[in-house]
Amino acid sequence: MLDTNIVLDWLVFEDARLSELQRAWDEQRLELITHVPALEELRRVLTYPQFKLSEGEQRVVLEIYGSRVRVTPLPDGVTMERLGMPTGFPRCKDCDDDHFLALAYHHHADAIVSKDRAVLDLAKRARKFGVTVLSPLQLAARLSEAKV
């Protein structure tokens, strides 16, 4: 799964560091998951003035992303206020990012990809709970290795 900044880098800014992600997607070597709160966050972030995206451009990004991800439901009893994480699960300094970790945990995602230092700093502790946190470069290396 991808956090919002990675989605922006991939689909809005066409960041070259994500070319291996694009290639893996084109070759159907990966499945991306998200949930409604993450889609709502993406929708909100796309409206930020610094991105200078027209409503049409925002709509295109949402349509492309929507066509490339599987939207998963929140597990029973889980809300944005109650993420249902086990005792001791690491929390992010920016609590707005905790829902990405919860999505990865509850849906047994292979990895969450982020460039957010606060999220990346949780990698070692999150791994104890079965959640792998990768930077874009780590993702590229894994995807490249998987082609062999």
Domain that holds residue 82: 4-146
Q: What is the pLDDT of residues 103-129, one digit of tens each?
A: 888 888 999 999 999 999 999 999 999
Q: Per-residue b/e over 34-46, b at no fewer than 16 CB within 10 Å?
A: bbebbbebbeebb
Could you tell me if 98 and 82 are in contact, meaning their C-beta atoms sit under 8 angstroms apart? no
| Distance in angstroms (rounded) separating the CA atoms of residues 81 and 141 | 35
Confidence at residue 84, expressed as pLDDT on a 0 to 100 scale: 72
Query: At 78, is the pLDDT very low, low, confident or very high (cuts 50, 70, 90)?
Result: low
Query: What is the number of structural domains in the chain?
Result: 1
Q: What is the pLDDT of residues 4-21, one digit of tens each?
A: 999 999 999 999 999 999
Q: What is the pLDDT of residues 27-52, one digit of tens each?
A: 999 999 998 889 999 999 999 999 99
CATH number for position 67: 3.40.50
